[in-house]
């Protein structure tokens, strides 16, 4: 028996070769069969690439920058997490979606090949957010320490190898970023980068606005830039995941809104680890040219 209130760290079970938390793997058929409405929007990411940030930007764009409306509920209630399953009474992503009318903003970490095919049959719009591998890895390491439903991250050095070998929850980062990259034109996926959002949030927010066929004033864009700054989101209880109880997200170990920077990897990788990682990266990424930046 787990300690009261604690869900415990779930083992990973492969679904078509991709390791997923057992609660997801055990409910796989219902996830795969999900049928979105054509008006639904998918926000897809590898974990820790800037999902929550993008969800907030989209919610604000849809609501013309209305901060109060966008504080109506925590992020995962406003924008359900498609594949997440928790033990009752916490609703699964699918149960939550059943209670909402389209158009909905749906979050997923599934790699392209595991996204329910009805999204593409229905020509749903999709935004993919990618973050450079080293910062993504660092962020995931701290997250796996504080998210007590994910497998134990173990020591840092070993974690780097698990990342390189695609053994973390939701599988390899490399296949994930490549999978959406090669499909982006055919599927009309908006592919954006965390580093670009940091460098010039206004430009990227406007890019998202155009993709969604929305039109908001310059003044509202400025407000959205401000409301979605790292500092403001860290202080926003409806965006900082303080809604998730400590037995699940122990934010005393590491904040969900941890650092929010580009290049933090330099504080964690030794020069040897960085060299080893880069050499392997060249091998794993050689067939594509995705313009990642590890510094801005």
CB 216 to ligand A3P: min, Å: 18
Q: Is 156 in the site for ligand A3P (CB under 6 A)?
A: no
What tokens appear for 137 in the block?
A: 């890895």
Give the integer Cα–Cα distance in Å for 247 and 9: 11
Q: Is 147 in the site for ligand A3P (CB under 6 A)?
A: no
Q: Is 51 in the site for ligand A3P (CB under 6 A)?
A: yes
CB 145 within 8 A of CB 154: no
Give the integer Cα–Cα distance in Å for 103 and 211: 15
Which residue lies nearer to ligand A3P by CB, 116 or 201? 201
Give the integer Cα–Cα distance in Å for 242 and 240: 6
109 is catalytic: yes
CB 139 to ligand A3P: min, Å: 3
Residue selected from 166, 230, 250, 251 as contacting ligand A3P according to rule CB under 6 A: 230
Helix, strand, coil % in the chain, rounded to nearest 5: 45, 10, 45
Residue selected from 53, 85, 159, 269 as contacting ligand A3P according to rule CB under 6 A: 53
Give the start-end residues of each E strand in 7-121: 12-15, 18-21, 41-45, 105-108
Which residue lies nearer to ligand A3P by CB, 9 or 259? 259
Q: Is 50 in the site for ligand A3P (CB under 6 A)?
A: yes
Residue selected from 12, 41, 84, 257 as contacting ligand A3P according to rule CB under 6 A: 257
What tokens appear for 56 in the block?
A: 């907030």
How many CB atoms neighbour CB 93 within 10 A? Answer: 23
Q: Is 52 in the site for ligand A3P (CB under 6 A)?
A: yes
Active site residues: 109
Instruction: Write out the residues near ligand A3P by the rule CB under 6 A.
Output: 45, 47-53, 139, 142, 228-230, 233, 257-260, 264
């Amino acid at each position: 028996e787990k300690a009261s209130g604690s869900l415990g760290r779930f083992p990973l079970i492969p679904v078509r070769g991709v390791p997923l938390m057992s609660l997801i793997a055990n409910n796989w058929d219902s996830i795969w069969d999900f049928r979105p409405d054509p008006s639904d929007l998918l926000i897809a990411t590898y974990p820790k690439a800037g999902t929550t940030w993008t969800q907030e930007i989209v919610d604000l764009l849809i609501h013309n920058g209305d901060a109060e409306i966008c504080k109506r509920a925590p992020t995962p209630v406003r924008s359900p997490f498609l594949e997440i399953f928790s033990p009752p009474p916490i609703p699964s992503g699918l149960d939550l979606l059943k209670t909402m009318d389209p158009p909905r903003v749906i979050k997923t970490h599934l790699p392209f090949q595991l996204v329910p095919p009805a999204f593409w049959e229905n020509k749903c719009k999709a935004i993919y957010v990618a973050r450079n591998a080293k910062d993504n890895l660092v962020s995931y390491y701290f997250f796996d320490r504080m998210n007590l439903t994910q497998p134990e991250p173990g020591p840092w050095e070993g974690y780097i190898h698990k990342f390189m070998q695609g053994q973390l929850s939701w599988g390899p980062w490399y296949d994930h970023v490549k999978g959406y990259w090669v499909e982006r034109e055919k599927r009309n996926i908006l592919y954006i980068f965390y580093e670009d959002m940091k460098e010039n949030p206004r430009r990227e927010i406007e890019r998202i606005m155009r993709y969604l066929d929305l039109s908001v004033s310059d003044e509202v864009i400025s407000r959205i830039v401000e409301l979605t700054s790292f500092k403001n989101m860290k202080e926003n209880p409806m965006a900082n995941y303080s809604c998730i109880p400590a037995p699940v997200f122990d934010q005393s170990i590491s904040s969900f809104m941890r650092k929010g920077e580009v290049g933090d990897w330099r504080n964690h990788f030794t020069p040897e680890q960085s060299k080893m990682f880069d050499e392997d990266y060249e091998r794993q990424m050689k067939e594509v040219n995705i313009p990642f930046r590890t510094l801005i």
